[in-house]
Amino acid sequence: MNETNTTTQGSDGVKKNDAQNEQTQRSPKQAIIGVLAAVMFIAGAMGVRAFMNRWTTFTSDESGFSISAPVSPDQTTQTPRVSGFSIPTTMYLFDNGDNAFTVSVARYPDDLDVMSDYRTTLEGALVGSAQNTRSTIDESDNTGEFLGHPAITGIMSGTLDGRDVTTRVVYFLVDNNLWMLMGMNTGESNFQRFVDSLEFNN
């Protein structure tokens, strides 16, 4: 069953959908999720700059996955501390010039329950990314799964360095780990190719 979001205009003149309006009053857990998702999203956006057609498979033994992309990634690890929680986050940026793909995984501590209300967790990740990057969520669907795990998909529009950017994302939860697959200005077919190639090795 698909959910329908309505759009309203706030006092600041910015149009927001239901999910964005709900985030104006967030619980501490939702705030953590939103901030962390923005860290993952912004780090992935930093590399956007020539599109190569030859795809190869990259394997990460550390994070336990393989995926196909046009270029090899740069790997970075951050441990943002949000509301007293340290959350190790590993990001793989496939910088393809005018396009970029990203795989990120954030490992929540065991005492931060993100699975009991996983739909809210995923909504918070998507909305937090949009709010903190001043992007607009054009489409979203939180009713499906990805590789058997609860997931949310979204398409966002915004600007980066004065250029229009269309971003496609998939957030999904594996146990207490939040994964993000992102494509910026990749086009739908290339992003789907990227997403479909993901395999877990563990």
Indicate if the pLDDT at residue 33 is higher than 90: no
Q: Which value, in Å, is the radius of gyration of the alpha carbons in the chain?
A: 16
SS3 32: helix
Q: Which CATH number fits domain 15-200: 3.20.20.450, 3.40.190.10, 3.40.1000.10, 2.40.110.10?
A: 3.40.1000.10
Q: Longest Cα pair distance anywhere in the chain, in angstroms?
A: 49
Going by their DSSP bridges, the two strands 177-184 and 163-174 should be labelled as: antiparallel
d(CA 47, CA 45): 6
Helix 28-45 vs helix 118-132: crossing angle, to nearest 10: 50
Residue 82 confidence (pLDDT) = 75
Query: Is residue 2 over pLDDT 70?
Result: no
pTM of the entire predicted model: 0.76
Domain positions in the chain: 15-200
Higher pLDDT, 82 or 73: 73
Mean pLDDT, the chain, rounded, equals 80
The more confident residue out of 14 and 135 is 135
Amino acid in the structure at residue 150: P
Q: What is the pLDDT of residues 135-162, one digit of tens each?
A: 999 999 999 999 999 999 999 999 988 8
DSSP state of 96: -
